[in-house]
Amino acid sequence: MNVGGGPGSYRRLEVPPNCDLTLGMVCTDKRADDRTVWEMVADGRFANPVGNLQGGFLAAFADSAMAATAVRWALRSNPARRVRCANAEMKMSFLAPVAVGTPLTCGARVLSGGSRVIFVEAEVCAADHLLVAKASSTYIATVADA
């Protein structure tokens, strides 16, 4: 079996993925198939030149939360299979700066979805419930035999 990442290959999935570990993301609620809630703290390693969290890291936080939610949604109808979701497009709006050290919460939810395409949105809030970013994304689900 080709494990190099080329056509026809299968790479072992890392759960949680390294990107989530690097960000310090933790899932705090996954009781529903169509929603998840995640937390992380704005790490100083990810600060922009003015000392706020760089927007790309907020986008990564939202993307990881939405992708996990999309996978949970896809697994509803394919519980015994491997499911992968690839981000086909993403829109991110930054609404307020995030100071280093700020605890963040990201709630992601499926808006609509079928067997191949899943529409998800996320809201990132600071500890004081201030909405700091909003994202929406379209994921393409791929299902393989277990």
| Per-residue pLDDT at 23 | 85
Residues of the chain predicted below pLDDT 50:
1-6, 8-10
Q: Give the model's pLDDT for residue 14.
A: 60
The pLDDT, as a whole number, for residue 53 is: 96
Q: What is the maximum alpha-carbon separation in the chain?
A: 50
pLDDT at 20 (0 to 100): 81
Question: With the C-alpha atoms ordered 3, 4, 6, 12, is the resulting torsion angle positive or negative?
Answer: positive
pLDDT of residue 22: 80
> Can you give the pLDDT at residue 4?
45
Q: Which of 94, 88, 92, 82 is nearest to 145 (CA)?
A: 82
Predicted local confidence at residue 15, as pLDDT: 66
The pLDDT assigned to 145 comes to 62
Q: What is the CATH number of domain 18-144?
A: 3.10.129.10
pLDDT at 3: 39
At residue 12, the pLDDT reads 57
The neighbour count for residue 72, using CB atoms within 10 Å, is 20
Ranges assigned E (strand) in the chain: 26-29, 35-41, 82-94, 103-113, 117-126, 131-144
> Domain segments of the chain: what residues?
18-144
